[in-house]
Chain A
Amino acid sequence: MNHLKKIAFGLALIVALQANAQEKKKLFSFSGDMGMWYEGYGLNKIPGPPTTPDFYPARKPWNLIRYSFNPTFMIGKWTVPLNFNFSPMQNNFIAALSGGKQTMWQFLTNPANNFGIRPKIGTTEFLLGTQYLKYSDLSTGDLGIFGYGINLSPGKFRFKFFKGVSQSPVNYVAPTIPNPQGVIGAYQRNQWMAQLGLEKEGKYFAGFNFVKSIDKISSVSSPPLTPIDPQENMVLSFLTDLNTDQGWKYHIELGQSFHTRNLNSPLSLVPVGDFKPFMNAHITTSKDNAVMLAVAKKGKDWEIGTKFNYYGAGYYTAGYPFMNNDRMEYLVNTRFNTWKKKINVVASIGERYGNLSLTKGPSKTNQVIANVNVFTQFTEHFSLNTSFNNFGFNTPGIGGYKSVSNELSINPAYTWSNTKMSNLISFTYTHSKYDETILNVTTNNNTQTALILYVPTFFEKKISPDFSVMWFRNIAPSIKLTLLTATGGMTWELNKKFNLKGQLQYNINTMAPFTGSKNMLITSGFDWSVYKKLTWQFSATANVYHYGSELPGSSLIPAYAGNPSYFESTLRTGLLYKF
């Protein structure tokens, strides 16, 4: 209820401010949106309390609420966009937070939340709060950072600087009986970044990127245990982009990273020397390089491009902490139209080599990625979409591994109509073959999917139904899985402001030799334009699942006579006000 009061107060405030803004239109105005989004989740299992066996875990928080506030204020020559998107709850999983109440600093720097302001006047832009800044592919761009900075762009000159925190400090908590997972903890990660370059928009950019991150050792009173050690990282990259009038595009980035895996390790000029004045080398410091090259040519009805990437085995940037390194890859892609523009082809082929350093075994890995998609509009009524994908991964050697995946998909669609309605019928068939060879033993995994979809559209009625039937089969060693699904959906436009919608799905999921599991999914809701600027979306879903003999009740602890089942409910609603 408190949340609703806050929203109502916020809306009233915005309306009042907007009325005032209209009077002084030139001096002050604003636009944007704000809203609230809520999701409630419920799970009932049979057998239920007091001794519910652990056969299906809750997969969402019981309650989740998020607020957004995204206005852009125009004050004289200033433009001030705000990007607030946050939740008072903490559900972090990867970037852990302690189970207790989060501090204000943890709330602000929680990666789930955004509190960003970017006031701009002329060629000067200030950055405050949470910002997602992508400087380049080899420097930074993945993570949100809470801090402050500035962008300057006078003439062709470009200068960017930002300093902040990309990871909140979290104390280590040892596992205990009530909390067997404990908290692994994290050091506060401070990060600064800068870019210095020249740019002519749409023509060229050339510049240097600098990204430095360091874990603050004193940020936690109970530090995480090894191997989660405090780290330090510095990346320097040179980036250039060039677009010519003839349709050529060039992209080059060269990067070098310095990375200390453990700041608690002793200072040492071996194996890598200092990188003054930015970093003092430790015995755990390494440095490596990365390269990205790309060239593309664009014509009237076609485009072709190629790119080459190399990431050294020691290349690391805190701006993309999950980046996969020690690889080299190339890719050629193209897109063109032919046959009077009735055929559109999109295709790419590439190869990736891994373990270049040979630190992960005696052989390099090889991965092939190829795909082609052909769409043909044969007539006004008939079209055909065909796609083929190939993925191959190979680690040669005695203890080698090889996998090859080939997937072919065909999707014809036919439409016809009369004075009262139009009809669309679409059929999709996909055959996927996935073969794995481990220690010279090959296993075959075949998957087939067929989907028929029928969509009638009535010209003079306000209901729009659709129907589909899907069949899926997966055959692999000791696996024979079949899924049969029927789905029906409908929207009903009660008036221009109110749409009702609903969907019913029933499926039988059979893992031979067991009896099938049965599932029914019912969703209904509405989209309501309450008034011109306020929309309300509501949706409720019920998911009922009865296990077949694949999960007999006798296998549960405690045992249960019969097969288990669960009922899952989700309620989702959102209010959005545009101003």
Chain B
Amino acid sequence: MKKYKLLISLVLLLFLQSVQAQIILNIALNNRPQPWLSDWVNPVNGQMIITYMLGPALNDPLIKIKTTLLDESGSIIGVSNINAARVYTLKAGVNQFTMADALQLQNLVLSGNAQNLLQRTGRLAAGQYQLMVELTNTLGDIVRAKQTRPFYIVSYSLPILMFPTNESKLDAHIAQNLITFRWSSLVPLSQEPPQNRVQVFEILPGQTAMQAFRGNRPLLDEPAIRGTTQYIWHPNLPMLDTTANHKFIWTVQTLDAKGQPFPGIDMSIQGRSEPFTFSIVNQMGTMDKNRKNDDLK
């Protein structure tokens, strides 16, 4: 008897759903989306699919999206303004939206700290969050579909160059044989060790350091052993010679496992750390006696 009751209940439920139009919400959110929330328009962050199936009655293709952002503990840190939300008209079948449509950044009201950070950086603090999306009627009082997805957000800080320090002077006798480059790690550590490429540029006569950096071909462009933060370079250059270049600028380019630069605030820098300059001085040799005092100034 119980089985019959259960079966009748299921049939009734299916009947009620079939006479109404059905909305199915599916959020395919990348669990590590891009850290700049405004970038969520990019397909790499996933997409939101709303399937709208027409029924014999109650066909209302108009919906609004209500977005709620929750932190790791489930506390709400942001809610979209439903009154200002855009009204979408669904077409029968599959309706595709970007994650930016789901997030509604322009319509999202964040709490104090998160709002302040968003204004300053366009990002959230690193950590685990949940994105809850509800599809409502145009008044916003009836939820027609709802889904919650967790995601982890983090951005990276490029390595800081450590040695040779900026504007340091290296002894030509040692430097023409080897120069040790060191830098800090990527912060935070990535899941796969990054690839660091050490790049050294000669500053040619009459050039500024940044001019050489942007305009010249690197004298050294070699990968360090993956995961290490040191590279020993054997220049084998005649640095004791007065005619040789004695000024250099160097950096480290940090690439991910796919060989793509780690993103920074300006993507045109292609994952390169703030460069340092160093110069070669011959403190005691004879080939550069006349320049000694100038170099040491």
Contact = CB atoms under 8 A, between A and B. Distances in A.
A354 interface: yes
Interface string A442-461: 00010101010101010000
Contact of B286 (A436, A489, A543): A489
A548 B161 CA distance: 31
Contacts of A541: 237-238, 241
A539 B246 CA distance: 14
By size class, the interface of chain B is 35 or more
Given A367-B160, A464-B289, A286 B187 contact: no
A286 B121 contact: yes
A271 B241 contact: no
Interface in B143-183: 154-158, 160, 162-163, 165, 171, 173-174, 176-178, 180, 182
A572 B244 contact: yes
A316 B108 CA distance: 25
B140 interface: no
A22 interface: no
B229 A93 contact: no
A574 B205 contact: yes
Contacts of A523: 238, 240-241
B75 interface: no
Interface string B118-149: 11111111110000000000000000000000
Contacts of B215: 91-92, 95, 110-113
A395 interface: yes
Nearest to A231: B266
Contacts of B155: 359-360
Determine which residue in A184, A287, A312, A501 has the highest number of CB atoms from chain B within 10 A of its CB, and name it: A501
B178 A472 contact: yes
A228 interface: yes
Nearest to B238: A523
Interface in B171-210: 171, 173-174, 176-178, 180, 182, 184-185, 187-189, 199, 201, 204-208, 210
B163 A391 contact: yes
Contact of A111 (B211, B266, B285): B211
A322 B249 CA distance: 13
B268 A270 contact: no
Interface string A269-283: 011100000000011
Interface in A298-322: 312-314, 316, 318, 321-322
Given A61-B217, A112-B216, A451-B173, A229 B267 contact: yes
Contact of A272 (B119, B205, B265): B119
Contacts of A424: 284
B187 A355 contact: yes
Interface string A59-96: 11100001010100000000000000100000111110
Contacts of A268: 105-106
Contacts of B210: 111, 132, 142-144
B111 interface: no
B19 interface: no
B125 A287 contact: no
Given A85-B207, A93-B218, A541-B238, A314 B122 contact: yes
25 contacts: A93-B221, A110-B215, A111-B214, A112-B212, A112-B215, A142-B210, A227-B263, A227-B267, A268-B106, A270-B105, A271-B122, A286-B120, A313-B123, A316-B265, A322-B272, A324-B157, A355-B187, A361-B187, A397-B188, A403-B162, A405-B163, A432-B180, A438-B189, A455-B286, A521-B236
Interface of B: 35-36, 38-39, 41-42, 105-108, 115, 117-127, 154-158, 160, 162-163, 165, 171, 173-174, 176-178, 180, 182, 184-185, 187-189, 199, 201, 204-208, 210-221, 227, 229-230, 232, 234, 236-238, 240-244, 251, 263, 265-270, 272-275, 284-287, 289
Given A466-B284, A523-B238, 4 more contacts: A361-B187, A472-B174, A489-B285, A489-B287
